[in-house]
Structure 1
Amino acid sequence: MPKIVLIHPSAGVNWNGNSATFALELARRLDNYFEVELLSGAECGSFSRPIKSITRSDVSNLACHPIISAILHKWFAHPEVAVEHLTSFLPCVAYLLKHPADLIFPQNDYGGLFVANCVRAIKGTPILFTEHNSLLDNGKYLKRNLSLQPDRLIVLNPEVADYVRFLAPEQLLNVIPQGVNTEEFSPIGKAIPTGLSKPTVLCVAPLNRDGNQRIELTIKAVSRLPRASLLICGNGADRDYFQALGDRLLGADRFQIRFFAYAQMPQVYRSANVFTLASKEEPRGLAYLEAMACGLPVVATDDSVRRYLIGNGGITCNVNNLDAYTKSLQMAIDRHWHWQQKPRQNALRFSWQETTMLYRKAVLQTCSQPRLTARYARIT
């Protein structure tokens, strides 16, 4: 039985439904087929091996102090990620050299990939790597990670696969979409009472004005609907700005911003009628899948990735056109009661049961393939 080691120093520390939760879920499921260890930030299962480091959550707490924040941002574009990578590097390398594996499977982007490269140079251990960034910033992060030459690459959708084949034709890769827990995220179960008028539109996003999510567009579009209310689930530096904008355009009886633990999210989705996220780019699209698994039709930005994820479970449109965005939201609201099965059925395409089997196959392929040779003709 192959021994595989996954890496994510925030696993067991950060439970916000991001890549750390993905790493934990994947480790738990692959543990049924392999000998699995997860180098984590805290105990989170019999397979976890806590590694000492300064995690992203630790850095975020420190960065609340303006002086510390200024120093960190002077040196790092994303200090919480960079500090975690730097402080976890040596502990992870030391553990992997002392406890050899048959496969190293980083889940924390380039930090874990550097760890795996160092160990591969010494031990020859192959690397399987999931590219969570997809085509963000015109593929900037994808190109960086390709330059580190994983033995096999996992990408989340066919569009990224095509781009990888253009950049590095010899790169071995598998397309495995983001998994969603369709047992936990289901239309059946309790809902969190919000006190908002129905129908309720839900948006889940970090509250940053200069971010990717374009929350202003969502607030403006919902404000054009005569009776709909808007619940934004998230937190961030610009919460007060979005609260003021929502209060002005929608009023307190039609607008709320709330923050929930990730474990509560199935109940949050069930409290709404429609889900929307007008982000510019969406490398993983987990919130869309969770919403559809709970029976919510989705309204999202029109691009090939969103069309692939949403299928017939919602509507994609030009969200920059407020008329088109508002019309799409109204269509989703009108169809909600008759449409519930379509979003759910679409989400089942991405169930963790299916995803786990695809990852199991990728692990076996990587363990049995010839070791890495210099095979990259072009990475630009």
Structure 2
Amino acid sequence: MIQELIRSTGDRLKVNNKKNKKDSYKITIIHPSAGVNWSGGSEIFAIEIARRLSTYFDVQLLSGAECGDFSRISGGIPRAYTYDLINQPLIKNFVHRFANHPEIIIEHLTNFLPCFIHCLTNPTDLIFPCNDYGGLAVAAAVRAIKGTPILYTEHNSLLAQGKCLTRNLRFSPDRLIVYNDKTAAFARNIKSKQQVSIIPNGVDLEKFTPQGSKIDFGLNKPIVLCVASLNRNNHKRVDLAINAVSHLPQASLVLCGDGPDKDYFQSEGDRLLGSNRFKICTFPFDKMPEVYRSADIFTLPSINEPFGFAYIEAMASGLPVVATDDEMRRYIIGSCGILCDVTNPQIYAQALSQVLQANLQLNPQINALRFSWDAVALKYRDVILNTIKKIYS
């Protein structure tokens, strides 16, 4: 790790100092959905890491909408702006013949040229794409011309048997960030010389806390909270949570999120739980701390969840967790909940009931301290300094 100050070959001071922003390293972060989609993990990551790295570097986030004094509109079309259009019945049948997620392809294509031109005409010391292969393509094109190094965090981890990671490694980022040893080993197996660092995601411990105002959902208590995008075809498996809570005679489920299958999940919740025990809510991100502290327990039955901001946000808010029993959940949640076979409704419901009965000695807020954004940002700072020094030395 580099803790000392670094000087360029021309002896220009590259100080991590707000007072000397014009002399500090320039970092360009790319995510055209940031500021538009507030439920996506990579979008939240881009904003939070940009905000905190601004303490050490001159940071600019190319985003879909204004999300801080460090952001600049990327110039293309964010995926959320095209989703409703391309899912109209006549259009959907046509475009989905060519791509499973055409809205993402549209975002990548329309943002490539404006982001590429911006990075060429506004010199930067490192490009940090956070929007998968679209941003990586921009960064790789700029590097081919100017030699600018690329830092990339793989938010998909080993989803789809590592298909996304395998594809993204073809862009040869100068430094790859992953969440765990298993993903790092997978990457090195594909590219033995790939530089890899392991850094978890973070949580804002000043925002997400048990203390503060709460929301009355108007449902029977206790409240089970699930935060997820509402898509039957993704890995969140929200239907398992609805089914499990239906086996508890008193508890209610608040499903916080939005997506193409909202009506389907509303129907399922009404059928299995009823209006006095089920509600779907959508809140802006700055309201989420209040949402978490208004519940009694958090659950998210995802399969192969790469990391999951919602777990650490819930724990920071004082909530115990019931989730899928896998390697990543064991690392994140530890003893602050129950991990189980969520595909078995009886086992899943029993785990929820056991945690709700408060028979476990849990301290989720203490566990969440491991994922402080400030600590995560320091690790990214050191990796960025190492990457830049290696390229320009």
1:1-380 alignment, distance < 5 Å = 1-335=24-358, 339=362, 342-370=363-391
Residue 64 of structure 1 and its aligned partner are, at CA, apart by 4.5
With the length of structure 2 as denominator, give the TM-score of the two structures.
0.90
Determine if contact 2:127/2:150 at 8 Å carries over to the other structure.
Answer: yes
Residue 336 of structure 1 and its aligned partner are, at CA, apart by 7.6
**1:378 corresponds to which residue?**
none
State how far apart, in whole Å, the 1-side matches of 2:326 and 2:269 are: 27
Residue 370 of structure 1 and its aligned partner are, at CA, apart by 4.1
**2:15 corresponds to which residue?**
none
State how far apart, in whole Å, the 2-side matches of 1:95 and 1:69 are: 33
Residue 366 of structure 1 and its aligned partner are, at CA, apart by 0.6
Residue 167 of structure 1 and its aligned partner are, at CA, apart by 2.1
State how far apart, in whole Å, the 2-side matches of 1:278 and 1:21 are: 21
**1:375 corresponds to which residue?**
none
State how far apart, in whole Å, the 1-side matches of 2:75 and 2:359 are: 47
Determine if contact 1:273/1:336 at 8 Å carries over to the other structure.
Answer: no
Residue 361 of structure 1 and its aligned partner are, at CA, apart by 0.6
2:94 is aligned with what amino acid?
I
State how far apart, in whole Å, the 2-side matches of 1:246 and 1:223 are: 9
The verdict on how the C-alpha distance between 1:369 and 1:242 changes in structure 2, with shifts beyond 3 A counting, is same
Query: What's the Cα RMSD here?
Result: 1.8
Greater mean deviation of Cα atoms: 50-59 or 292-301 = 50-59
Residue 17 of structure 1 and its aligned partner are, at CA, apart by 4.5
The verdict on how the C-alpha distance between 1:336 and 1:199 changes in structure 2, with shifts beyond 3 A counting, is farther
State how far apart, in whole Å, the 1-side matches of 2:293 and 2:375 are: 24
SS at match of 1:208: coil
Determine if contact 2:26/2:125 at 8 Å carries over to the other structure.
Answer: yes
2:364 is aligned with what amino acid?
P
> Which 5+ residue runs of structure 2 have no aligned equivalent?
1-23
State how far apart, in whole Å, the 2-side matches of 1:57 and 1:245 are: 25
Residue 338 of structure 1 and its aligned partner are, at CA, apart by 5.6
SS at match of 2:289: helix
1:8 is aligned with what amino acid?
H
Greater mean deviation of Cα atoms: 173-182 or 155-164 = 155-164
SS at match of 2:254: strand
With the length of structure 1 as denominator, give the TM-score of the two structures.
0.93
Determine if contact 2:230/2:257 at 8 Å carries over to the other structure.
Answer: yes
Task: Number of aligned residue pairs: give it.
Answer: 370
> Which 5+ residue runs of structure 1 have no aligned equivalent?
372-380
**1:377 corresponds to which residue?**
none
Between the aligned residues of both structures, percent identity stands at 55
SS at match of 1:90: helix
1:365 is aligned with what amino acid?
N
Determine if contact 1:179/1:350 at 8 Å carries over to the other structure.
Answer: yes
State how far apart, in whole Å, the 1-side matches of 2:323 and 2:256 are: 16
1:68 is aligned with what amino acid?
I
State how far apart, in whole Å, the 1-side matches of 2:125 and 2:210 are: 40
